Amino acid sequence: MSQATLGDDEELFGEAANEMREDVESSLEAAWAALPDADDVWETDADNVLGALNGLNSALEVGDAEDHLRDAKKWFTMGQRADAFDDADDLEAEIEDLEDAITDIAEAGEQVGELTSTIPALRGTLQDAGPADDESADATDDEEDEE
> What confidence score (pLDDT) does residue 34 get?
95
Rounded Cα–Cα distance for residues 110 and 102 (Å): 12
Where in the chain are the domains? Answer: 3-127
Angle between helices 89-128 and 3-34 (to 10 degrees): 20
137 pLDDT higher than 80: no
144 Cβ contact list (under 8 Å, min separation 6): none
Strand, coil or helix: 15:
helix
What digits encode the pLDDT tens for the residues 5-53? 556 888 888 888 889 999 999 999 999 999 999 999 999 999 999 999 9
Is pTM beyond 0.85? Reply is: no
What is the largest distance, in Å, between two alpha-carbon atoms of the chain?
A: 115
Per-residue pLDDT tens over the stretch 60-102: 999 899 999 999 999 999 999 988 888 889 999 999 999 999 9
Helices 65-81, 89-128: inter-axial angle, 10-degree rounding: 150
